[in-house]
Structure 1
Amino acid sequence: MRLENDDIRKIVNGDEFAFNRFMEHYSSRLYHYAFALLGQKEPAEEIVSDVFFEVWKNRKDLEQINNMDAWIQTITYRKAISFLRKETGKCDLLFDEIGEFIFDPVQSPDEEMISKEEIARINEAIQQLPPKCKHVFFLAKVDGLPYKDIADILNISVKTINNHIAFALEEIAKNLNLVLRKK
């Protein structure tokens, strides 16, 4: 399902059916992202619900948003950080202090081209990445966000994003080569 500008216009005008389509479009992705940050089902569900409440409250401004994916991801990230701050009691929790990032296994739409065993090896290689690197990799390669948007969401530089992605790809390739050599 793809959201059209017309859907956004309808949401701005208070159309609840269009908003339901909006929620259907984003809910799964945002839940997986929140769960990856928090590692807890109920708080992740609450955060996604809060995100949609925030979107509905600010619906009049939706047409001014250039990149809806990045904007909604940023809201989710900030709400997850707020939750973690409350849980840990740290007021200055930053990207560098996020604990484990739980990366759901990647599902391949090209099952015929990539075997389940290869998918499992790729997922295992991804799981071996450090949490922050895994987080950046998730946003860039799974959610497909531009590096600039990721930098804005995480409040780190584009150069740092590039470094995380380069490291991730290098480590995944190394990990896959090691697995292949063992066979």
Structure 2
Amino acid sequence: MRFFPIFISNSTSHLYVTALHNEPVLLHRIAQGDQDAFRCFFDHYTPLLYTFVLRLTKSRSDAEEIVQDTFLKIWNHRESLPFIEKPGRYCYVIARNQALDYLRKAARDQHLLDQVWSRIAGEEDHSLEQELQAREYNRLIEEALHVLPEQKQLVFQLSRREGLSQLEIAEKLGLSKSRINNILVEVLQYVRTFLRQHSRLMALVFWITAWEYLFK
């Protein structure tokens, strides 16, 4: 994957690898213009953002460009980073809007994607999820979850219904955070495929909103 020209140095300090476990320190370094710290931040969040954007755009080159535009925007507004409580969520929202802007301009089904865009890019960040609490939507999700192992159902419910972070779920269930992340990815992919059999819009909206759970 390409990197920004100003970040092609391979001199990233091991100090910042450790600092990822204390993100406030890393964010303050970035806000002060520390490029090595930003490279560490970039390397940490790029894989998940790239996977998300790639699944939306179906284009590696476009996904790379969108992710790089996302981090360029973050760098240009780096002074605000120390005040961000959830850096992963912050990165996701920017990447999501960049990807939706791309889809809005490039998709053949303009009407469909205009619906998604108008709701997700609106001032009320959770308005889309609220609108989609329709009986059929929930029924289909419950139907999809019903065939999954109990552990996967529980992880999804704790994340979606109770709003717990991956770390909180891991501690509650006695599992590693990476295992919780893997379970969520598997469940989200399965539910998205299930919903797509019934409605492309429903599946697309679920996939976009569901990725927020991976950044908690």
- For the aligned pair, the TM-score class normalised by the smaller chain equals 0.5 to 0.7
| Structure 2 counterparts to residues 123-142 of structure 1, below 5 A | 127-130=193-196, 131=203, 132-140=205-213
Rounded Cα–Cα distance in structure 1 between residues aligned with 2:25 and 2:188: 38
Mapped contact 1:81–1:93 kept (Cα < 8 A): no
Q: Which residue of 2 aligns with 1:168?
A: none
| Structure 2 counterparts to residues 53-64 of structure 1, below 5 A | 53-64=72-83
Q: Which residue of 2 aligns with 1:102?
A: none
Q: Deviations over 1:23-68 (max 9, x none)?
A: 0110001101111221221111100000110011001111122221
Which ranges in structure 2 are unaligned for 5 or more consecutive residues?
A: 1-19, 119-176, 197-202
Rounded Cα–Cα distance in structure 1 between residues aligned with 2:187 and 2:78: 42
Aligned residues: 127
> After the TM superposition, which of the residue ranges 24-33 and 1-10 deviates more from structure 2?
1-10
Rounded Cα–Cα distance in structure 1 between residues aligned with 2:62 and 2:43: 19
Q: Deviations over 1:146-180 (max 9, x none)?
A: xxxxxxxxxxxxxxxxxxxxxxxxxxxxxxxxxxx
Rounded Cα–Cα distance in structure 2 between residues aligned with 1:49 and 1:34: 11
Rounded Cα–Cα distance in structure 1 between residues aligned with 2:187 and 2:91: 31
In the alignment, structure 1 residue 20 sits paired with structure 2 residue 39: yes
> After the TM superposition, which of the residue ranges 130-139 and 80-89 deviates more from structure 2?
130-139
Larger relative contact order (CA 8 Å, sep ≥ 6): 1
Rounded Cα–Cα distance in structure 2 between residues aligned with 1:144 and 1:69: 5
Q: CA RMSD in A?
A: 3.3
Residue 53 of structure 2 aligns with an amino acid whose one-letter code is: A
Which ranges in structure 1 are unaligned for 5 or more consecutive residues?
A: 98-107, 146-183
In the alignment, structure 1 residue 52 sits paired with structure 2 residue 118: no
How much has 1:126 moved relative to structure 2? Answer: 5.2
| Structure 2 counterparts to residues 1-183 of structure 1, below 5 A | 2=21, 4-88=23-107, 90=110, 93-95=114-116, 127-130=193-196, 131=203, 132-140=205-213, 143-145=214-216
Residue 114 of structure 2 aligns with an amino acid whose one-letter code is: L
Q: Deviations over 1:121-150 (max 9, x none)?
A: 99656532332334433432xx154xxxxx
The percent of aligned pairs where both chains have the same amino acid is 24
Distance 1:35 1:9, change over 3 A: same
